[in-house]
């Protein structure tokens, strides 16, 4: 039982493998090469189909084609079908065959080895006839001359009238694209790869027709100026022109030419056409008679110059405008030479170049009031037609320089017309401003004013002054409004003053004045301290005086004794000895000290 089951599994596996391999075994791998037509005109294209049967995993093979025939890969087409359980697959690679000339072309035989499998197909023959010739007549012309070659119907020429030039000399170069019965578009401007020349386009390309060798050509003409930049025997060209060729793909479903063209499509094909090369001999400038100020300008030029204004104040600018015009290489025109400008301060001239002239604006500042003219300017160039160096001159220019501040000094004003006319925006260059010659004030990179001690002084001193003034002002105000405060504050100095006066009177032996002073000093000091009236204070009223309770008994007694003695001597006209006065002065001192402590 077990063996039967095993046998059944083996059979099923064999059947499955056979069925899976069947489609592959059924396919026969082969290559078919066909073209959509085997006769065509120059400028047309035929399609080549390479069909690989039995597989789809075939990359596009590269073709080896005969001379005069080019190809372009269009793309693949895959196909798979199952009929009665049989699967077939194929891939077709499509190419466009483009003949470059009329004639018979044999394409193939085809022989490719891909993924270890070899595919072969027999060769195909293409008959290409000249454009305009009926394809059916191709057989009749077979074996004739290669009429209608593409390079005869579309080509580029390079022409110049001068093959011998001087360095930097200007010459005209013409590139012509000849086209006869070939549809092209998008012709690019010619490209040159030559070293030793600079090119400059002039104008726009010109189109016209000419008859050449009994063929009517459409001409596309490009004009350029070229300038040799080094001497020697050079080669100019070839010029390369890229364009797109339009190739009509005819629809074979319509036998008639009209309908075939009408329903057909156009395909594009890139073309790069190269012209002939031109030998050019470039001569160096002759050394003989070469001026010192010659800077390489070549051509025939004239120089015109003028100044504005002709009357200026000393130090005001004068603009010298110089225009170099003529036929030649304007790129080589440099600033005309200004000689004898010692009395002027000069600036770099501003150069402006247009198609036919180069203008220079030179600003001159007269530094001497005695100047009467601006000297003549000169421009040296080499004239290739005469093979000689020439110098164009302009000037001198009369100039009136007025001393600064003189009444006749010119005042520059803008005219109303100039202000009203809109000016085209001037295109200015931009670059950094030149370095400074003056180093300026050196300082430490870390130095800061706010760290300077003087700043702290200038901050502190006014603040202290303000605080002092404010305190003093407040003090004065209180003195004027607070009488008690004022009396209390003035009491001590006044008492001291009275004491000094009493001492002076004692020294002078003026005992009356001495005791009057002692009495006054004591009463006023007490009155100021105790906010009382000085005349009302007597020895008898002393006990009732407010504040006197802070005095000790000895103090009160001393004051009373001094007041009594003073009154006695003053009013009773008693005498006092110097010793007595000295003793009383000491008592006054003690009394004042005791009174001082009342509000201490």
Partner 1 sequence: MHKKRLFLFVGMSVFTALILGPAPEGHPQDAAFAKANNHYKNGEFKEAIAAYESILGEDRASAALYFNLGNAYFRRHQLGRALLSYERARRLRPRDPEIQTNLRLARSNLPYVRPAGMKLFKRISRMPFQWINLDEGTLGVLCVYLALMALLCVMALRKTARRRLKVPAQALAVIFVLGLSLMYVKIMDLGREALVVRPRAEARFAPFEKATVHFELTEGMAVTVVDEKQGWLKVERPDGKTGWLPDDAVALM
Pairing mode, if any, of strands 39-41 and 124-129? parallel
Site for partner 1 contains 455 (CB under 8 A): yes
Nearest Cα to 358, choosing from 366, 350, 369, 348? 350
Strands 357-366 and 350-353: antiparallel
Using the minimum distance from each CB to partner 1, give the nearer residue, 412 or 447.
Answer: 447
Decide: 155 and 213 in contact? Cβ < 8 Å: no
Query: Closest distance between partner 1 and the C-beta of residue 484, in Å?
Result: 21
Of the pair 413, 459, the CB lying nearest partner 1 is at 459
Query: How many Cα atoms sit within 13 Å of 488 on the Cβ side?
Result: 12
Q: Is 465 in the site for partner 1 (CB under 8 A)?
A: yes
Nearer to partner 1, 6 or 448 (CB): 448
At its nearest, how many Å lie between partner 1 and the CB of residue 350? 19
Q: Report yes or no: 376 and 306 within 8 Å, Cβ to Cβ.
A: no
C-alpha span between 316 and 370 (Å, rounded) = 14
Does 444 bind partner 1 (CB under 8 A)? Our answer is yes
Task: In angstroms, give the least distance from the CB of 344 to partner 1.
Answer: 24
Single residue of 450, 481, 484, 572 touching partner 1 by CB under 8 A:
450
Contacts with 534 (C-beta within 8 Å, 6 or more apart), sequence order: 520, 523, 524, 526, 527
Task: Check binding of 493 to partner 1 (CB under 8 A).
Answer: no
Tokens 């039995």 belong to: 54
Task: Pick from 117, 235, 266, 473 the residue near partner 1 by CB under 8 A.
Answer: 473
**Contact between 347 and partner 1 per CB under 8 A:** no
- Binding residue for partner 1, selected from 80, 202, 466, 534, defined by CB under 8 A: 466
Please identify, among the stretches 40-48, 461-469, 542-550, 570-578, the one whose residues bind partner 1 according to the rule CB under 8 A.
Answer: 461-469
Q: Does 211 bind partner 1 (CB under 8 A)?
A: no
Contact status: 437 vs partner 1 (CB under 8 A): yes
Pick the closer one to partner 1 by CB: 81 or 444.
444
Tell me the C-alpha distance between 374 and 379, whole Å: 16
Contact residue for partner 1 among 208, 263, 477, 485 (CB under 8 A): 477
Contact between 428 and partner 1 by CB under 8 A: the answer reads no
**Tokens coding 138:** 């191709």
**What are the two backbone dihedrals, phi and then psi, of residue 567, each rounded to the nearest 5 degrees?**
-65, -40
Report how far apart, in Å, the C-alpha atoms of 174 and of each of 20, 64, 201, 244 are: 71, 38, 10, 21
Cα 46 from Cα 520, distance rounded (Å): 149
Is residue 441 at the binding interface for partner 1, with CB under 8 A as the rule?
yes
Min dist CB 347 to partner 1, Å, is 17
- Of 404 and 476, CB closest to partner 1: 476
Instruction: Say which residues have a Cβ less than 8 Å from residue 528's Cβ, sequence separation at least 6.
Output: 487, 488, 490, 491, 494
The answer to whether 267 and 249 are in contact (CB under 8 A) is yes
Q: Least Å distance between CB 431 and partner 1? A: 7
Q: Give the containing element (helix H, strand E) for 220.
A: strand 215-228
Binding partner 1 by CB under 8 A: which of 204, 430, 533, 573?
A: 430
Task: Name the residues that contact partner 1, by CB under 8 A.
Answer: 430-446, 448-450, 452, 454-455, 458-459, 462-463, 465-466, 469-470, 473, 477
């Amino acid at each position: 039982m077990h063996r039967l089951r095993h046998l059944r599994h083996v059979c099923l596996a064999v059947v499955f493998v056979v069925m899976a391999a069947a489609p592959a075994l059924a396919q026969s791998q082969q290559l078919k090469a066909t073209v959509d037509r085997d006769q065509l005109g120059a400028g047309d294209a035929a399609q080549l189909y390479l069909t690989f049967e039995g597989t789809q995993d075939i990359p596009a093979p590269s073709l080896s084609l005969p001379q005069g025939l080019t190809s372009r890969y269009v793309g693949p087409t895959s196909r798979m079908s199952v009929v009665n359980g049989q699967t077939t697959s194929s891939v077709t690679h499509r190419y466009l065959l483009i003949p470059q000339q009329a004639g018979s072309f044999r394409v193939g035989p085809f022989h490719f080895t891909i993924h270890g499998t070899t595919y072969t197909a027999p060769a195909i023959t293409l008959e290409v006839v000249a454009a305009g010739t009926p394809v059916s007549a191709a057989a009749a012309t077979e074996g004739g001359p290669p009429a209608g070659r593409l390079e005869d119907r579309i080509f580029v020429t390079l022409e110049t009238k001068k093959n011998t030039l001087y360095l930097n000399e200007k010459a005209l170069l013409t590139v012509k694209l000849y086209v006869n019965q070939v549809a092209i578009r998008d012709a690019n401007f010619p490209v040159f790869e030559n070293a030793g020349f600079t090119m400059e386009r002039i104008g726009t390309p010109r189109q016209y027709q000419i008859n050449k060798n009994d063929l009517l050509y459409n001409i596309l003409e490009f004009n350029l100026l070229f300038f040799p930049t080094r001497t020697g025997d050079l080669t100019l060209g070839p010029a390369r022109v890229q364009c797109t060729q339009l190739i009509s793909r005819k629809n074979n479903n319509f036998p008639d030419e009209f309908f075939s063209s009408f329903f057909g499509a156009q395909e594009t094909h890139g073309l790069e056409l190269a012209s002939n090369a031109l030998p050019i001999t470039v001569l160096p400038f002759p050394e003989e008679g070469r001026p010192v100020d010659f800077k390489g300008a070549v051509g025939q030029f004239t120089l015109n110059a003028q100044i504005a204004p002709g009357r200026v104040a000393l130090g005001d600018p004068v603009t010298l405008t110089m225009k170099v015009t003529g036929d030649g290489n304007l790129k080589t025109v440099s600033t005309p030479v200004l000689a004898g400008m010692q009395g002027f301060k000069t600036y770099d001239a501003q150069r402006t170049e247009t198609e036919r002239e180069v203008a220079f604006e030179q600003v001159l500042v007269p530094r001497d009031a005695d100047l009467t003219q601006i000297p003549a300017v000169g421009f040296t160039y080499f004239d290739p037609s005469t093979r000689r160096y020439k110098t164009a001159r302009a000037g001198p220019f009369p100039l009136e320089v007025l001393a600064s501040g003189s009444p006749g000094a010119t005042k520059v004003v803008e005219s109303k017309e100039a202000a009203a006319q809109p000016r085209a925006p001037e295109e200015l260059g931009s670059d950094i401003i030149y370095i400074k010659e003056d180093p300026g004030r050196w300082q430490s990179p870390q130095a800061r004013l706010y760290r300077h001690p003087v700043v702290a002084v200038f901050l502190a001193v006014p603040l202290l002054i303000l605080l002092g003034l404010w305190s003093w002002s407040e003090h004065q105000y209180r003195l004027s409004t607070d009488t008690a405060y004022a009396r209390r504050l003035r009491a001590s100095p006044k008492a001291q003053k009275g004491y000094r006066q009493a001492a002076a009177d004692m020294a002078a032996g003026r005992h009356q004045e001495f005791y009057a002073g002692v009495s006054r000093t004591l009463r006023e000091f007490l009155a100021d301290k105790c906010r009382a009236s000085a005349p009302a204070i007597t020895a008898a009223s002393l006990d009732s005086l407010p504040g006197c309770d802070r005095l000790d008994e000895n103090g009160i007694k001393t004051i009373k004794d001094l007041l009594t003695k003073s009154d006695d001597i003053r009013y009773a006209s008693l005498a006092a000895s110097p010793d007595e006065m000295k003793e009383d002065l000491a008592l006054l001192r003690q009394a004042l000290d005791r009174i001082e402590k009342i509000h201490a």
